[in-house]
Amino acid sequence: MEKHVQLPLTQEAARELKAGDQVLLTGSVLTGRDAAHKRLIALLDEGKPLPIDLQGETIYYVGPAPARPGQAVGPAGPTTSYRMDPYTPRLLALGLKGMIGKGERGAEVIAAIKEHGAVYFGAVGGSAVLISRSIEKTEVIAYPDLGPEAIHRFYIKDFPAVVAVDAQGNNLYEQGPQLYRKTDL
């Protein structure tokens, strides 16, 4: 049974989620991929303010395709998350509470998720068209020159995901396979 999760995430809501929980996310998320993350970190390195406030936000790692008439967005499937690993701990320290992507995260990111009480949600790769149906509205927030990789704000309803790494550091990518390990060979 899916849990309905309202975004932006509160500290309490993030800590209640457990690795393996199936969730339906509703609210707003930011989007961003490699190029946008690199620019955010460059601003931090220069001591400049970010164009967005990350407090309580969730970032969806996606570069959406153009929308067809009558749609908010085109296919919008998740990007492989480990590409954002070099940037993620610093963003979590600024209040980022959630990330949505696909694939495993590195040990440093999992430690930062645990330290800051955040959550990493896994979205199903290959389901870009299905996921796009959960996106009701979009707007560009920063870096419009990056096109689909600009930072957008998506307004989502019942966006399907699974908690891949919870605020306690439990990792579905490690725990899940253990459930199916044969012990009597």
Domains of the chain plus CATH, in order, are 3-178 (3.20.130.10)
Per residue in 114-162, pLDDT tens? 999 999 999 987 778 888 889 999 999 999 999 999 999 999 999 999 9
Closest to 59 (Cα-Cα) out of 37, 44, 35, 86: 37
- Per-residue pLDDT, 178: 67
- Per-residue pLDDT, 94: 97
pTM of the model: 0.93
- Per-residue pLDDT, 131: 87
Cis peptide before 86 (omega within 30 of 0): no
- Per-residue pLDDT, 79: 92
C-alpha–C-alpha distance, residues 65 and 73, integer Å? 7
Compute the Cα dihedral for 149, 151, 152, 157 and give only its sign. positive
C-alpha–C-alpha distance, residues 153 and 138, integer Å? 6
Structure-token match 């299905």, residue found: 130
Residue 132: which residues within 8 A CB-CB, separation 6 or more?
64, 71, 72, 73, 74, 75, 76
- Per-residue pLDDT, 124: 83
CA distances from 133 to 38, 87, 125, 128 (A): 29, 29, 15, 9
C-alpha–C-alpha distance, residues 122 and 39, integer Å? 24
- Per-residue pLDDT, 185: 58
Residues of the chain under the 70 pLDDT cut: 176-185
